[in-house]
Each structure stands twice: as structure tokens, then as C-alpha cells.
A and B are shown apart, each in its own frame.
Chain A
């Protein structure tokens, strides 16, 4: 595992998953792992399972009270510190190295490529099926149009849409031929304070698998599912106080995936 990193295959990335989650990779390895994940359609389940481990390690520390003056110092600093305003809508993430960022551009490039396709397809479905646009996105019509044009042919070539409906709202699960999917929700019902929607896939064993969360604040929500839908029969959405391992309430939206 020594020496400069080139490209990494799935197995190598999985082997480095724990070190990745703990921030214990060398810079070249970190870049190589990110490069791989940006374009990899595989779930990398073990690596994913490590994400968040650092939160536990931090929480295992006994809190240490700061000096009394630190808060005043901080408040004094931010009183004269402007906030950075980078864009109207919050992107998923961009973690590429600067050189890579320079050669990328446009809405789709804010997302890892494997997610960009699904997100953009989902956006098209929202626009067509619901006939609405998120007001906050209207200022980015040109970028969105560029994104939509880029994926229009992909839709025509065969994406599957499963209708999602229930008391919580409506939407679609969009899946490509590999089962990679996104949930597109609209008209979502307001939730109680501090609640979120949690997304589930349910197979023949009737055991729900958590595949994402979303806040009900957006007029149009687009959430890439953390797992492919292949082998699952039902998609469901529940309202939860926080992300949980198993649902604590009955679904507010469901869809039959036909598996």
C-alpha cells in the first residue's frame, strides 16, 4: 500500500474504508479513494458502514468547558466577519481537487457522476409529472436546462419510474437498469418540529432497510437512495424524529417496486 496512488479498484477502496472514515489516509490515497467513489456505481457497503464512526469517537470524550472569554471573543469576531454566499441552492458536495474542479462545470458537476444522472433524471420527472419548479431553483434555469438536456436522452432510453403516494405526499422512485435509484418527492406534508422523512426499501423478508432521509422543507426533494432497488419489493417513507435503524411509525408514502 505504499507509493503514489493511481486508480484504485473496488477491493482496494473497501480495504481503505476504515482509514478513510477516520481521516487516516495519506493525501494521495485520499484523492484516489475520492476519485474512485465519484465514479463508482457500487454501494461500497462496508466503507459506508464506517462513515460516522468519527462522531462516536468525538462523543466519547469528556466535554471540557472553554474559558469564559472565548464566547465573547467569538461573537466579536463574527460581528465583523461576512458570510460567504456561493450559490442559491445547496449542492450535495464537491470534493474534487482544485485541478479537477476547474475542468468541471455546471449543475451536474456539483454531484458525483453516479448521482448526477439520477438527480437530473429525477428533476426532469418532477418538472414533467408535477408541472412545478422549486422557486429557489428558478434562478438557475440555464444551468438546469443544461442539465436536463444532458439527461433527456437517458430518460428516453429507458428509466423506470415507480409512483409513490400516500398521506405524506407523492413522488416517484426513478431507477436505471442497474437498480440505482433516486426518490423524487413533491407536495410533502409538513411534519412536526424536528421530524424528518426517512426512506426505506423492503424485500421479501419484510425487513426495512434505511436508504436515506430528507427534510420536508423543499417544495421538490430529490434524494439518491443509498442502495439499489434490485431485489426489493416495496419503497416506503416514514416520519421519524431522527434517522433510525427500523421504522417507528407506519409509512406515510409507499410504492410497489414490482420485484
Chain B
């Protein structure tokens, strides 16, 4: 019997096995979010839908490269969508392509807990509220970087500040946003009571 609400990792396994219905489930789950992300960058619905279509096709073709221990399928899909959207509007801009795996996986074996918890536990309005609570110049830097696809050097030019300042604003913004979200998602959880079993083999 087919699970009516399969976890993304289970969907990835089914897609990897060639199950087209599973890709349809993935589409039903994330197409609207993917379209929002694409539309925010390209500002053209027809182009955005083409990008979403192509991103899902890329997921279908390259699912063998997806590693669930390096991040979620959702995150992978949205990265593909955004990179393709930025490539579309920037032309020569080079982004990390899906086939080249995930550069972020150099440093992580899973999503950062704070960001992941925020995505899972907070509503859209809460997330947007946390972003809007950032100081104006930091919020502007974030939006120019992520939603408009500009590099920090370009942001410096656009906003008329030194490159170091533009880069610093991104750094301050993410630090502040992370701290805000961490306090929003904090929940009292019990610490483990480890059962020490020392057995040093060397």
C-alpha cells in the first residue's frame, strides 16, 4: 500500500527507482513554493513556470546525485530553482549547478538545526516577520543577494557602500536572523543521560 504522505527521503528513493508518480507527489508538495522563489527572482510568471518545470526535470534526471544526509530534497529543489532563476536574469552569472552537487555539503552532514527548525516550525508570516525585523540596510542586502541574485560586490555598487560594508551587512543580517529564529524556535527538550561505555581500542 502506498504511503499517502511519504517523507521526502522516501520520495527521493522512489524517484531514484524511476517512480514518476513520486515526482508528481513532490511537485504537488513544493511546486507552489518553487514558483514563488522563481517568480521573486525573474518577475515573469511564464518564465518562472518554465524554470520550475526545468528544475523538477533536473531533479528527476539527477536524483542519483542527491544525498539526503547532506540536506533535504526540498532545499535541493529550491536551490536548483533559484540558481536557474538567477542564471536567467544574470546571463553570465555562474552558480552551483545541480549536477555539481552541493557546495554547502563541504561543511555539513545535515541542515543547520536553527534554520531547519525555523522552516519546520514557523509560519510564513513568522519567517517574514523575522526578516522584516532586521535593520533596513541589512534587510536590503539580504534581499538584493538572495531574491535579486546580486553578489555582495554588486550590492556595494547598488547601495553605494564599500564592498566590505556590503559583505559585512550580509554577515550581520544572517547572524541576527539566526539568533532571532533560534529564540523563536527554542523548545525545552531533555538532555540525554548517557551510559558511558569506554572501550578504547587503541
Closest Cβ–Cβ distance, residue B141 to chain A (whole Å): 9
Q: Are A245 and B186 in contact (CB under 8 A)?
A: yes
Cα–Cα, bound, A2→B154 (Å): 11
* Cβ-neighbour of B36 out of A64, A90, A255 (below 8 A): A64
Q: How many A-B residue pairs have CB under 8 A?
A: 335
Closest Cβ–Cβ distance, residue A67 to chain B (whole Å): 6
Q: Mark B168-202, 1 if CB is under 8 A from A, else 0.
A: 00110111011001100110011111111111111
Closest Cβ–Cβ distance, residue B197 to chain A (whole Å): 5
Q: Are B9 and A215 in contact (CB under 8 A)?
A: yes
Q: Are B110 and A213 in contact (CB under 8 A)?
A: yes
Q: Are A90 and B64 in contact (CB under 8 A)?
A: yes
Q: Are A244 and B110 in contact (CB under 8 A)?
A: no
* Cβ-neighbour of A95 out of B31, B61, B103, B112 (below 8 A): B103
Q: Are B110 and A243 in contact (CB under 8 A)?
A: yes
Residue of B whose beta carbon sits closest to that of A211: B109
Evaluate whether A54 and B82 lie within 8 angstroms (CB atoms) in the complex, with A16-B167, A59-B127, A93-B102 already known. Answer: yes
Cα–Cα, bound, A57→B61 (Å): 26
Evaluate whether A92 and B105 lie within 8 angstroms (CB atoms) in the complex, with A59-B124, A59-B127, A214-B69 already known. Answer: yes
Cα–Cα, bound, A162→B152 (Å): 44
Cα–Cα, bound, A55→B64 (Å): 22
* Cβ-neighbour of B112 out of A20, A52, A85 (below 8 A): A52
Q: Are A22 and B109 in contact (CB under 8 A)?
A: no
* Cβ-neighbour of A255 out of B37, B60, B198 (below 8 A): B198
Q: Does B42 sit at the interface, judged by CB under 8 A? A: no
Q: Are B78 and A19 in contact (CB under 8 A)?
A: no
Closest Cβ–Cβ distance, residue A163 to chain B (whole Å): 3
Report A210-254 residues with CB < 8 Å from chain B CB.
Answer: 210-215, 223-226, 234, 236, 238, 242-251, 254
Binding site for B on A (CB under 8 A): 1-2, 15-27, 30, 34, 37-38, 44, 46-67, 70-71, 73-75, 77-79, 81-87, 90-95, 112, 129, 158-166, 172, 193-194, 200, 202, 206-208, 210-215, 223-226, 234, 236, 238, 242-251, 254-256, 258
The 6 closest A-B pairs by CB, nearest first: A52-B115, A163-B199, A256-B198, A63-B32, A24-B145, A93-B101
Binding site for A on B (CB under 8 A): 3, 7, 9-10, 16, 18, 20, 23-24, 27-28, 31-33, 35-37, 39-40, 49, 52-53, 56-57, 60-72, 74-75, 78-79, 82-83, 86, 93-96, 100-120, 124, 127-128, 130-131, 142, 145-147, 149-153, 155, 163-164, 167, 170-171, 173-175, 177-178, 181-182, 185-186, 189-202
List, sorted by A's number, 13 A–B pairs whose CB atoms are closer than 8 Å: A24-B151, A26-B151, A50-B178, A62-B124, A66-B35, A71-B31, A74-B53, A84-B65, A164-B197, A165-B197, A215-B68, A246-B190, A258-B200
